[in-house]
Amino acid sequence: MGNGLSDHHQSLFPCLPSFQALHIVILGLDCAGKTTVLYRLRFNEFVNTVPTRGFNTEKIKVPLGGGRGSRRSASFHFWDVGGQEKLRPLWRSYTRCADGLVFVVDSVDSERMEEAKTELHKITRLAENQGVPVLVVANKQDLRNSLSLAQMESMLALAELPAATPWHLQPACAIIGEGLHEGLDKLHAMIAKRRKTLRQQKKKR
């Protein structure tokens, strides 16, 4: 699901080589599973987490188009930022130069879905994040009472995200890693599409 489109990097460093790692910020409420996502990608296994007080960061080469065994890959520089309420004002300093955002949502936590929606809309409305692609990860889909994708799309009001914000909603289970590579593949495609559009716009000027 998605509406499918930094280049802050591109505008600051027009000669940025294509192998440069993409700057990706992982956001979401506390306990959504952000750190589990990061370490699942990094170590290819489940790592027990503790609440993140500052941030965790990892550079990871991710296979594209078909997951493991695929010949195409991209380097992602992930920033996993603490999601507790008192830490959320810091998100902005991490997203300033982001090529893409990963917004992790706990699919079981229907009580805090409104809060997740508010934070997602707040961060995507910031002037500096206009047009930055967002991968919304509907995490913990392994749990029996997880909400469906359609329910999450509606509760998070994804259709009301800024028109310029490309997004994709990806079901996932970070514990076993299901859906993560597929989601990052979509995020990579949205970033590539946006870069191409920005390049074409620049040429026309």
Does 31 bind ligand G3D (CB under 6 A)? Our answer is yes
Contact pick of 2, 23, 27, 35 for ligand G3D (by CB under 6 A): 35
Does 6 bind ligand G3D (CB under 6 A)? Our answer is no
In the annotation, is 84 catalytic? yes
Residue 146 CB, shortest distance to Mg ion, in Å, is 20
Look at the block and give the residue holding tokens 């460093």: 13
Q: Name the residue nearer to Mg ion (CB basis): 50 or 127.
A: 50
Q: Is 78 exposed, middle or buried (0-12, 13-18, 19+ CB in 10 A)?
A: buried
Q: Could you tell me how many residues of this chain bind ligand G3D (CB under 6 A)?
A: 20
Within positions 43 to 82, which residues make up the interface with Mg ion, using CB under 5 A? 52
76 to 95: interface string for ligand G3D, x by CB under 6 A: -------x------------
CA count, 13 A, side-chain hemisphere, 111: 0
Does 129 bind Mg ion (CB under 5 A)? Our answer is no
How many residues does this entry show for the chain? 205
Q: Name the residue nearer to ligand G3D (CB basis): 28 or 166.
A: 28
Look at the block and give the residue holding tokens 């010949």: 71
Q: Which amino acid is at 145?
A: N
Contact pick of 25, 105, 173, 180 for ligand G3D (by CB under 6 A): 173
Strand, helix or coil for residue 65: coil
Does 175 bind ligand G3D (CB under 6 A)? Our answer is yes
Does 146 bind ligand G3D (CB under 6 A)? Our answer is no
What positions carry a catalytic annotation? 84
